[in-house]
A and B are shown apart, each in its own frame.
Chain A
């Protein structure tokens, strides 16, 4: 018997799993924060190794062009969040919002969530993918409720109920996909392997696939945060610890969307199925416009950026719904840029909320004069997320709208309208938060700027210049997505 070859995927998964187990035994929070950072760094290295050597796909795991970038993005944001989290939780401990026991629990859950997301991204088996997304969801639910205040418990409960209904619908969709495949591929694991499903897509039962996709769209769509299944999202973002908000917006929404994309590829490859584009366009546009108007009346800063995440997920789903090489390209780019920008914003917002002792927008004023560096990074982040040039989000949103204009001007106009409303709402709020007379405590802030700068500079570079290799990759994957 030969030794099994080294696989970066397995190494990546094991890193988080071992870290989660080890963190359960570390009592001192400084050491557990360091271990958390270290494990996330190792995971990042293994994720980057996937660009270099990719193990062949088997029945359970796979790494292909579509997921490597998401795995890398996942590991990168996971790493920066662990750095941010180390400085964030110290403050929470000082103010007594968290106890050391809860922190230990928090770190274990953080790594479990990373494990769940990495497993979902690398799963080749649609059942395994479902289990992984459920695991990631569960670990975020407990982290959202960790402060145990009325609001946090309500948010966790709402997230749990809506999330589990969504995940139940997604499982039913998964069972139907298996049923559609079983007569063409045969019983057993083979009929659940995504690569097999795609290869045999033409022979799958089209009417079953149609129904399955509706269930999957509603189920995973709940996790993506699409309106009208979004109700859990603002609460979960606002009431949980900020590092959790950052990974929720930056990663978990992407992972659920990624699952949806995998199924979309199968359905699109079958000629007998309904066009899934219009379904996605409707949900995407609905979420975009709804969230844009909701943005106008927010009074809580984290809740505001949560609605902005719904808005961006709406744009992305809209872009994938329009499809075509350019639409898919724009969607993929927007997913990456949104994830980097939004987590950077949550990093700054976390420090702002800590130093001001409140999340109410009305009580946070004049940040650029009271805390210049923190204030200006928040300004840069919000400018980026609102879609101002020269940031990457501008470029991807521009691509979404222009590619849509070429094919369906009326829909593109609606999307542009939603973007403008959101833009106005965000900048209006930013004006009062960042400028004017400072309000609230003026104590200096001990922030970790490194993660914020790393994210924002990547977004800036993405907007100014994209390396040729990256453009080819995006084009290649956009072609795969149909």
Chain B
């Protein structure tokens, strides 16, 4: 039951688009545009999952797509935007660890995940192989983003992109049950962080969301 070439191409386009948008995140060093990129990332995920639901004929995946669209593409970016504006962070430029270097590393990671996943999934059908390989790329790019950023909000955005990659992988894996539950669990997790930042008001306590400042409060040097 291999999918028609057109169905495959469209799935490939959406998944590849996610990887591309992950790269956009890597070089975006202002917070408000970064949040817009996250919105776009989640929108592409929603389209991709909806397409998977269509070609696999799995209606429950539409729920996942709707969660991605409503929650991750609209609600959470809005909440983050409000926080950034309220905390007056929107004018700050975050100095990422050398954009050029990060992009090169990112390309390396994508090459690595392609090589690895295409090699080990030789037995599976082409759609699954591409999907899982691209999903791993998105996950690794998200990890890269999390380690190269120092700002709490960009780390949350990096984490959400990892999560999008995982849901892409889960939806692409033929008929994997619990994808809906897992995406709900993840959405709760993110809502939790966003509320967490809001409630704890890291800025209020530390006068900054720059985590380098947080590092000074190492437990042992009180």
Which A residues between 219 and 273 are near B, CB-CB below 8 angstroms? 234-235, 238-239
Out of B120, B123, B178, which one reaches A210, CB within 8 Å? B120
B interface residues, how many (CB within 8 angstroms) = 48
Closest Cβ neighbor of A145 among chain B residues: B200
Contact B219 A303 (CB under 8 A): yes
Which listed residue (A128, A153, A155, A300) contacts B202, Cβ 8 A? A153
If A134-B185, A179-B124 touch, whether A187 touches B174 (CB-CB below 8 Å) is yes
Kindly list chain B residues whose C-beta atoms are within 8 Å of the C-beta of A161.
146, 155, 159
Note all chain B residues with C-beta closer than 8 A to A148. 200, 205
A151 to B206, CA, bound (A): 11
| CB < 8 Å neighbour of B189 from A164, A192, A234 | A164
Residues of B within 8 A of A145 (CB): 196, 200
User: Number of contact residues on A: which range applies?
Assistant: 35 or more
Pairwise interchain contact A138-B192, C-beta atoms closer than 8 A: yes
Binary per-residue interface labels of chain A (159-203) against chain B in the complex, 1 for a CB within 8 Å, 0 otherwise: 011001100110110011011001100011100100000000000
Closest chain B residue, CB of each to CB of A238: B219
Given contacts A131-B185, A165-B146, A211-B120, contact A188 B166 (CB under 8 A): no
Residues on A lying within 8 angstroms of B by beta carbon are 125, 127-128, 130-131, 134-135, 138, 142, 145, 148, 150-151, 153-155, 157, 160-161, 164-165, 168-169, 171-172, 175-176, 178-179, 182-183, 187-189, 192, 205, 207-208, 210-211, 234-235, 238-239, 298-300, 303
Q: Which residues does B use to contact A, with CB under 8 Å?
A: 116-117, 119-124, 128, 132, 135-136, 139, 143, 146, 152, 155, 159, 162-163, 166, 169-170, 173-178, 181-182, 185, 188-189, 192-193, 196, 200, 202, 205-206, 211, 214-215, 217, 219-220, 222
11 contacting pairs across A/B (C-beta < 8 A): A154-B215, A168-B163, A171-B166, A172-B136, A172-B166, A176-B132, A182-B173, A183-B123, A187-B175, A207-B120, A208-B120
**Closest 5 pairs (CB-CB, A-B):** A187-B175, A127-B178, A207-B120, A150-B217, A189-B177
Not counting A168-B162, A211-B117, a sample of 17 additional A-B residue pairs whose C-beta atoms are within 8 angstroms of each other reads: A127-B178, A127-B181, A128-B181, A131-B181, A131-B182, A134-B185, A138-B189, A148-B200, A148-B205, A154-B214, A154-B215, A154-B217, A168-B139, A182-B176, A192-B177, A205-B120, A235-B219
